[in-house]
Amino acid sequence: MNSSQRTPKTSGSILREGVRLISSGVAGQLVALILLSIVGRQYHEETMGVLGSFLSWGGLLAIIACGRYEQGIVVATRREESNLLYHLALRIALYFTIGVLLPLSLCGGLFLSATTPLGWTIYLLPLYVLLLAWYNASAQWLLRQQQYKRLAQMQLIKGVGNNLLKVLFGLLSATVGSLIAAQLLSIFAPYSLFAQALRKGLRKPTEGSVIQVAKQYQGFPRYGLTQALVDNLLGSLLILMLPLQFSSREVGFLTMAIMLGRRPLQLISENLGSVYFERMSKQVRERAPLRPMVHKLIALTLLFGIPLALLLAHYMTPLVTLVVGERWTWSAYIITWMLPMLIPNFATSILNVLPDIFGRQKANMTAQIVMLVFDLVVIVAGFSFFTFEQFIPYFYLLITLEQVIYLLFLLYFVWHYERTRVVS
């Protein structure tokens, strides 16, 4: 069977599995949104600001924890290699947490708790990072096994459980401790779905060499790790730097804006992106075309994204007030200016695995570093000249332009692949 005959089946499969993951994510987000309406009325802006800082630092460290080897699980050409990479990612995360994060947290905790918005929550970062790193690695392993149903269940439990626990703990005490406890338990709750895989992954491999596979896929920690860190920083740099100029209250508004505006869309793109990652990897291994799949994604993103963004921008303030209360109207203002950026960002968050698939991590890393430097300059300049109200549109309009340029950069990989595929 030739590649053109296989394409319709692959496209239909992507749609079917993507819908399965997205539908569970959307269902979870609807429940989470209802619960978030209670959370927004329970917790104060400053409290949400501490949570935003905790999640940003934890997400950044969780990427370092696995050395980015978890991304190789899906790309690996042989099942044995993917199993070895899973084992390697779990072990590295454990050693990094115990050997680096835990001592750093204990030794520097007093200083960091007094000088950062994290406060005493710095002591819980190692546990959060380990749980999140193992969760992410196990999700990639299940993706390689094409266990989409289980992945959907994991997302549902994690998403709904997070806000449900926030509400329950908030009834007892609406504090930072309640928010962090809910975050930790919501990551731990889905562990029963991949406990068996986790036990196998932590066992010493009986065949193959972990060192050999680590060297074979060294591009992931060498280039992919830096790229992933930069990518994460691109999404969280503002929330990490905001306390340098503004109070925890403004950080809280931004955190709520991300929860309401960016995170639901991010969940959809992550679920759809997981399916695209596995299927695009397969297409490239078989030298099948990628262009129809990618062009369809871009067309649908623009077709639905632009009208939806215009509609939401018009009604954003009453919508946010209805959902989480009048105290969060600043979050509505932030989301309104965030919307243009979310359209190209949706596509780039799905297609940013293309450099990993084509082994072009170095080129992507360079592009990401340029973007990070640009963001840093934009933020520092904005802090110098603008009030918070003026800073928000200034920042997000420039980031929208940046995301459009990055999308064109990723599409170049598809164009180059199609050209060389046809020639060969």
How many other CB atoms sit within 10 Å of the CB of residue 67? 26
Q: Give the angle 220-223-224 at the CA atoms, nearest 5°.
A: 50
User: Each residue of 265-277: pLDDT tens digit?
Assistant: 777 777 677 778 8
Mean pLDDT to the nearest integer, 335-354: 92
Q: Give dist(CA 267, CA 102) in Å, integer.
A: 30
Q: What is the pLDDT of residue 232?
A: 81
Of the candidates 269, 334, 340, 338, which has an alpha carbon nearest to the alpha carbon of residue 305?
Answer: 340
3-state secondary structure the chain: CCHHHHHHHHHHHHHHHHHHHHHHHHHHHHHHHHHHHHHHHHCCHHHHHHHHHHHHHHHHHHHHHCCCHHHHHHHCCCHHHHHHHHHHHHHHHHHHHHHHHHHHHHHHHHHHHHHCCCHHHHHHHHHHHHHHHHHHHHHHHHHHCCCHHHHHHHHHHHHHHHHHHHHHHHHHCCCHHHHHHHHHHHHHHHHHHCHHHHHHHHCCCCCCCHHHHHHHCCHHHHHHHHHHHHHHHHHHHHHHHHHHCCCHHHHHHHHHHHHHHHHHHHHHHHHHHHHHHHHHHHHHHCCCCCHHHHHHHHHHHHHHHHHHHHHHHHHHHHHHHHHHCHHHHHHHHHHHHHHHHHHHHHHHHHHCCHHHHHCCHHHHHHHHHHHHHHHHHHHHHHHHHCCHHHHHHHHHHHHHHHHHHHHHHHHHHHHHHHHHHHHC
Going by pLDDT thresholds of 50, 70 and 90, the confidence category of residue 3 is very low
Lowest average pLDDT, out of 148-157, 241-250, 292-301, goes to 148-157
Flag whether pLDDT at 28 surpasses 80. no
Burial class, 9, CB count within 10 angstroms (exposed 0-12 / middle 13-18 / buried 19+)? exposed
Highest mean pLDDT among 23-27, 46-50, 75-79, 200-204: 46-50
CA 375 to chain centre: 18
**Pair 92, 214: CB distance under 8 Å:** no
Of the candidates 264, 277, 270, 353, which has an alpha carbon nearest to the alpha carbon of residue 14?
Answer: 277
**Pair 95, 69: CB distance under 8 Å:** no
Q: What is the pLDDT of residue 24?
A: 59
Torsion 4-9-12-17 (CA) sign: negative
Flag whether pLDDT at 110 surpasses 80. no
Flag whether pLDDT at 34 surpasses 70. yes
Flag whether pLDDT at 144 surpasses 70. yes
Mean pLDDT to the nearest integer, 126-151: 87
Flag whether pLDDT at 288 surpasses 90. no
Question: Would you put residue 68 in left (φ > 0), alpha (ψ -120 to 50) or beta?
Answer: left
Instruction: State the average pLDDT for the chain.
Output: 84
**Pair 55, 183: CB distance under 8 Å:** yes
Mean pLDDT to the nearest integer, 215-229: 77
User: Each residue of 93-109: pLDDT tens digit?
Assistant: 999 999 888 887 777 66
User: Each residue of 300-324: pLDDT tens digit?
Assistant: 999 999 999 999 999 999 999 988 8
Percent with pLDDT over 90 in the chain: 32
Phi, psi of 63 (to 5 degrees): -70, -45
User: Each residue of 73-87: pLDDT tens digit?
Assistant: 887 878 888 888 888
Flag whether pLDDT at 137 surpasses 60. yes
Q: What is the pLDDT of residue 113?
A: 56
Flag whether pLDDT at 361 surpasses 80. no
Flag whether pLDDT at 216 surpasses 50. yes
Going by pLDDT thresholds of 50, 70 and 90, the confidence category of residue 5 is very low
Q: Give dist(CA 11, CA 288) in Å, integer.
A: 12
- Bigger pLDDT: 74 vs 171: 171
Q: What is the pLDDT of residue 210?
A: 80
Q: What is the pLDDT of residue 134?
A: 93
Lowest average pLDDT, out of 21-35, 64-78, 122-136, 215-229, goes to 21-35
- Bigger pLDDT: 280 vs 361: 280
Mean pLDDT to the nearest integer, 193-204: 80
Q: Give dist(CA 11, CA 423) in Å, integer.
A: 24
Q: What is the pLDDT of residue 236?
A: 86
Q: Give dist(CA 69, CA 66) in Å, integer.
A: 6
Mean pLDDT to the nearest integer, 345-371: 86
* 180-216 burial code (b ≥16 CB/10 A, e <16): bebbbebbebbeebbeebbeebeeebeeeeeeebbee
Flag whether pLDDT at 204 surpasses 60. yes
Q: What tokens appear for 384 in the block?
A: 């110098």
Flag whether pLDDT at 4 surpasses 50. no
Mean pLDDT to the nearest integer, 232-245: 87
Q: Give dist(CA 132, CA 334) in Å, integer.
A: 28
Q: What is the pLDDT of residue 1?
A: 38
**Pair 253, 328: CB distance under 8 Å:** yes
Highest mean pLDDT among 76-80, 253-257, 266-270, 278-282: 253-257
